[in-house]
């Protein structure tokens, strides 16, 4: 927990704000155990169908019909939980069932990877520090996100677009010598533009076009206005944990976003000296797509009676704990009936 930590003052002195947060780290490896336990608990009570995608969902006079290939399932209460990867599917269903949606935010940036010792004074005490900075030039908000001490950087594939993400293991044998975290710039759009995810996708596509996937660049190369090369990365002191194409992020990210990231790297360098070293690696692009927000009432029920949307697919939750809680909440509401 960040409660009472001395780092709050240090951050404040350097124009950074350390948010109040309690973090419970499970680790990618423990997550498997949690899922296995849930499965063991439920397998006698619930019919599971793995690797079967739901193609369609129809509303009928007395309930809903869930269509998977040639098979259809009838129900009077239907809970949809398709996560971020199901956002396009969700959009299609909402359009068809005439359920309102809105989307006006996307967070764009990079994933930073550096030697774990540079951040260890923060990560050993707090594990994850959620730090916000307001840029001098544009007064945009830049924040650290998803900090992975001793973790690895990974590709994330959302509807065919490859972006970057990170995770870490609880088991010390699987940990690395690096820490990674995202630096994201919040982008809110005003009327008439509505397709914030489309904007994020276009920028991610640009990096995929130039690098065939995720690009990686040394901070020193970015500042000098040159692309990174395999040789320069090889000669650096930071061993990348993801094999990405060395390139130039300034050809991908809009100036306003890139300026914000550079300002934030220098601000973080004041509380964690070494963050702005030439060899610090920046992977791009990291995009935090916000699922369009589905119009739901306080029970997470749509305008169609008995049709609920939970988890990140609803656009209401954005994390494991919130997504899980939304499921428990709806289950209780239905049980009450």
Ligand X SMILES: Cc1cc2nc3c(=O)[nH]c(=O)nc-3n(C[C@H](O)[C@H](O)[C@H](O)COP(=O)(O)OP(=O)(O)OC[C@H]3O[C@@H](n4cnc5c(N)ncnc54)[C@H](O)[C@@H]3O)c2cc1C
* Site for ligand X contains 334 (CB under 6 A): no
Helix and strand totals (H; E) in the chain: 9, 17
- Identify the H or E element spanning 10: helix 7-13
Locate the DSSP E strands across 56-177.
56-60, 63-68, 71-75, 78-80, 101-102, 105-115, 131-134, 141-148, 152-158, 161-167
For residues 283 and 182, the answer to whether their CB atoms sit within 8 Å is: no
C-alpha distances out from residue 150 to 80, 177, 178, 180, 285, Å: 35, 5, 5, 8, 21
* Site for ligand X contains 319 (CB under 6 A): yes
Position among 78, 84, 180, 240 found at the interface with ligand X (CB under 6 A): 84
Position among 83, 213, 254, 274 found at the interface with ligand X (CB under 6 A): 83
The region of 33-41, 263-271, 281-289, 312-320 touching ligand X under the rule CB under 6 A is 312-320
Binding mask 170-199 for ligand X (x = CB under 6 A): ------------------------------
The region of 5-13, 81-89, 171-179, 202-210 touching ligand X under the rule CB under 6 A is 81-89
Position among 65, 105, 167, 232 found at the interface with ligand X (CB under 6 A): 167
- When the beta carbons of 146 and 268 are compared against ligand X, the nearer one is 146
CA distance 157 to 214: 11
- When the beta carbons of 136 and 171 are compared against ligand X, the nearer one is 171
CA distance 214 to 206: 10
- When the beta carbons of 277 and 314 are compared against ligand X, the nearer one is 314
Query: Residue 307 forms beta bridges with which residues?
Result: 78
* Site for ligand X contains 86 (CB under 6 A): yes
* Site for ligand X contains 113 (CB under 6 A): no
Write down the least CB distance from residue 14 to ligand X, Å. Answer: 26
- Identify the H or E element spanning 12: helix 7-13
- When the beta carbons of 13 and 319 are compared against ligand X, the nearer one is 319
Instruction: Give the contacts of 305 (CB within 8 A, at least 6 positions apart).
Output: none
> Omega before 47 cis (within 30°)?
no
Scan residues 132-161 and list those touching ligand X (CB under 6 A). Answer: 146, 154, 156
Position among 10, 54, 132, 325 found at the interface with ligand X (CB under 6 A): 54
Q: In the complex, which residues of this chain contact ligand X (CB under 6 A)? A: 53-54, 81-86, 89, 146, 154, 156, 165, 167, 311-313, 318-321, 323
């Amino acid at each position: 927990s960040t409660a009472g930590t001395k780092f709050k003052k240090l951050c404040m002195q350097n124009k950074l704000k350390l948010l109040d947060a309690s973090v419970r780290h499970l680790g990618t490896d423990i997550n498997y155990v949690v899922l296995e336990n849930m499965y063991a608990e439920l397998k006698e009570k619930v019919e599971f169908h793995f690797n079967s995608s739901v193609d369609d969902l129809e509303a009928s006079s007395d309930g809903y019909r869930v269509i998977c290939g040639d098979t259809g399932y009838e129900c009077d209460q239907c809970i949809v939980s398709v996560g971020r990867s199901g956002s396009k599917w969700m959009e299609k269903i909402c359009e068809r069932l005439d359920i309102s949606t809105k989307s006006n935010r996307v967070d764009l940036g990079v994933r930073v990877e550096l030697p774990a010792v540079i951040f260890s004074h923060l990560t050993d005490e707090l594990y994850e520090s959620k730090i916000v900075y307001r840029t001098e030039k544009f007064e945009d908000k830049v924040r650290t996100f998803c900090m992975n001490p001793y973790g690895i950087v990974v590709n994330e594939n959302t509807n065919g677009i490859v972006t970057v993400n990170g995770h870490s293991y609880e088991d010390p044998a699987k940990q690395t010598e690096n820490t990674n975290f995202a630096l994201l710039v919040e982008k809110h759009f005003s009327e008439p533009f509505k397709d914030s995810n489309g904007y994020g996708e276009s920028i991610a596509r640009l990096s995929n076009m130039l690098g065939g996937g995720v690009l990686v660049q040394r901070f020193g190369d970015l500042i000098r206005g040159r692309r990174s090369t395999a040789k320069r990365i090889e000669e650096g002191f930071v061993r990348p944990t993801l094999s990405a194409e060395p390139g130039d992020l300034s050809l991908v990210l809009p100036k306003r976003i890139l300026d914000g990231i550079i300002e934030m790297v220098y601000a973080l360098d004041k509380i964690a000296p070494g963050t702005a070293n030439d060899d610090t690696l920046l992977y791009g692009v990291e995009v935090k797509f916000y699922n369009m927000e589905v119009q739901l009432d306080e029970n997470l029920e749509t305008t169609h009676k008995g049709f609920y949307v939970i988890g990140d697919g609803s656009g209401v939750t954005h994390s494991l704990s919130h997504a899980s809680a939304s499921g428990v909440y709806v289950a209780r509401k239905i049980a009450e009936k």
